Amino acid sequence: MKKELQDKILQRFPYLFSNIYYDTPLGQRGIECMDGWFDLIYELCSKVNNILISNPISGFKVVQIKEKFGRLRFYTNNDIREIKELIREYSDKSETICEVCGKPAKITKRIR
């Protein structure tokens, strides 16, 4: 993802990204998907952030955000049910949004 978009996400949600994350794939490689998912990821982070505001979890961090097989993968260092459900919801949603342009889309099979 373009650095300026990525920074908007990383700087906006302190509960998700204020911990040192340089030892993680996110810290090393940034958000590993294209710009079309900016809104999707921003919205997911905002909801996770809201959960953490009402139920602070010390040391919570996002470890990796990437695309795999046309689907958003969003990994954290915690297994909180409410957050896991949100992540699943947004990963499902990612299959209906073009990773490049953000318009409605569906996963197509590659011809080998």
3-class state of residue 53 by DSSP? helix
Quick one: 15 or 38, whose CB is closer to Zn ion? Answer: 38
Interface pick for Zn ion out of 29, 82, 88, 101 (rule CB under 5 A): 101
Residues 30-49 that bind Zn ion (CB under 5 A): none
Quick one: 101 or 107, whose CB is closer to Zn ion? Answer: 101
Quote the strand ranges of 1-112, DSSP E: 62-68, 71-76
Q: ∠ at Cα 13 (10, 16), nearest 5°?
A: 85
Alpha carbons 22 and 31: distance in angstroms, whole number: 13
Interface pick for Zn ion out of 100, 107, 109, 110 (rule CB under 5 A): 100
Q: Which residues bind Zn ion (CB under 5 A)?
A: 98, 100-101
